[in-house]
Amino acid sequence: MEKLAIGIDLGGTNLKGIIMTEQGEGTHLTRVPTEAKKGGQKVLENILTLIDKLIQKEGSKDNIIGVGIGTPGFVDRDGTVIGGAENLPGWKGTNIYGPIQHRFGLPGTAGNDVTVAALAESRFGAGKGVRNMVCLALGTGIGGGLVINDQLYKGSHGMAGELGHISVETNGLQCNCGQKGCVERYASAPGIVETAIRFSQELDEKHQTQFSREVLRKPQALTSKIVYDYVKKNDPVACRVNEFTCDKLAHAIGIIVNSLSPDRIILGGGVMMAGQIIIDTVSRYVPQYCWPEIWKRCDLAIAQLEENAGVLGAAGLVFEDFTDRRTLDDRRIVD
């Protein structure tokens, strides 16, 4: 009997699901609206609807061994969302596993969306071939995921991997988490935009560049992509933003490297559309923040799976938690 797993990626706008084999082949890719504004119970109903659709497409649930979910926030051992999902009103306090078990007779497992994306990269993407890796997703915030000795590490209460809240600046910028100087405040997309605006405002007219003038003209329209478009044009102000950003990111990576000595650190998320520029700049700064001999044994890579990481990782979590085999070696999805 071929074992199958359902994987669900919970996004703010849409839920995405697949059925995946133990060899990593995903089928029946299906999307339904999240309807996050209608509250946690509505989101849960929509997850159950998506599971039902996937089972109907498969024709039977006989070979399905469980349901995995990647979600913003944290999920405790009993399947209760315990926080960190501010974009999903009412999601905190929702129990995921009970309704899945009751309706479908299937066990559930869940993890933070970036955590399960890290598992996907480990099995199918930029982390293939290494046993110890760390994934950082640079987007609206900075999330993290840890794979240690070839196993996903979620921590005692599913909260491991909050790497965006490593402090890289004493008495630095205030973060929503309550700390100051978190790397998320500097190397996330909003952090990069904020730095670009600040640097541009500090210049007198004589030292303004094409980039800084555009920033000052339309600061509300600025994105991290625009910043890096100008970095590629060697605009001095944009390049200064990149150097500042990558220094802060490298500081956090240095702390991670000293703490965990991973084989590989993977950078993903929307900011990494900038690509090799960030990899190269960060690599120059990291040796300032960690033991050189440890850094020599670690490499830095760009995530490969993009939008498929969530569902692949969620389904992979089922095989991670409900079987002893960890041989997933492909990443094909067929609609």
pTM for the whole thing? Answer: 0.88
pLDDT tens digits for 85-124?
A: 777 889 999 999 999 999 999 999 999 999 999 999 999 8
Query: Higher confidence at residue 242 or residue 1?
Result: 242
Answer whether 4-121+306-334 and 129-302 agree in fold. Answer: yes
Q: Mean pLDDT score of the chain, rounded to an integer?
A: 92
∠ at Cα 31 (25, 34), nearest 5°? 130
- Scanning 84-222, the segments in alpha helix (DSSP H) are 97-104, 113-124, 184-187, 189-201, 210-217
Average pLDDT on 161-188 reads: 94
85, 43 Cβ separation under 8 angstroms: no
Among residues 317, 277, 299, 330, the alpha carbon closest in space to that of 133 is found at 299
Phi-psi category of 22—alpha, beta or left, where left has phi over 0 and alpha has psi -120 to 50? alpha
144, 154 Cβ separation under 8 angstroms: no
Q: Quick one: fold of 4-121+306-334? A: Nucleotidyltransferase; domain 5 (3.30.420)
Distances in Å between the Cα of 194 and the Cα atoms of 32, 185, 191, 250 are: 34, 9, 5, 19
Asked whether residue 36 carries a pLDDT value surpassing 80, the answer given is: yes
pLDDT of residue 132: 97
pLDDT band at 125 (very low <50, low <70, confident <90, very high): very high
Asked whether residue 277 carries a pLDDT value surpassing 70, the answer given is: yes
Taking the domains of the chain in order of start, what are their residue ranges? 4-121+306-334, 129-302
Q: Which CATH architecture has domain 129-302?
A: 2-Layer Sandwich (3.30)
pLDDT of residue 324: 61
* Poorest-pLDDT segment among 36-40, 253-257, 261-265: 36-40
315, 68 Cβ separation under 8 angstroms: yes
47, 7 Cβ separation under 8 angstroms: no
Q: How far apart are CA 216 and CA 192, in angstroms?
A: 15
Q: How far apart are CA 184 and CA 105, in angstroms?
A: 40
Asked whether residue 298 carries a pLDDT value surpassing 90, the answer given is: yes
Asked whether residue 212 carries a pLDDT value surpassing 50, the answer given is: yes
